[in-house]
Structure 1
């Protein structure tokens, strides 16, 4: 029986425009949810 290996990805975002940062964060979380990953941490 094959076991799945857990992987962790850390992402740090910086931007001068708050709206651009929020949009990017939403896209990353949506992609994580589509691939059955979990997003943990402070997400604006």
Structure 2
């Protein structure tokens, strides 16, 4: 199961990809300091 939330890039908001099988959320976009970042955040406690 792969759920993708793609926000308009002009809003400079992160794109969120939720992968329930692997149990992580991938965020791509600008940080609060307007720096590009890519990190994984666990969303399930297996």
| TM superposition score normalised by structure 1 | 0.24
Which structure would you say has the larger Rg? 1
* Higher strand proportion: 2
| TM superposition score normalised by structure 2 | 0.23
* Higher helix proportion: 1
Greater RCO, CA 8 A, separation 6+: 2
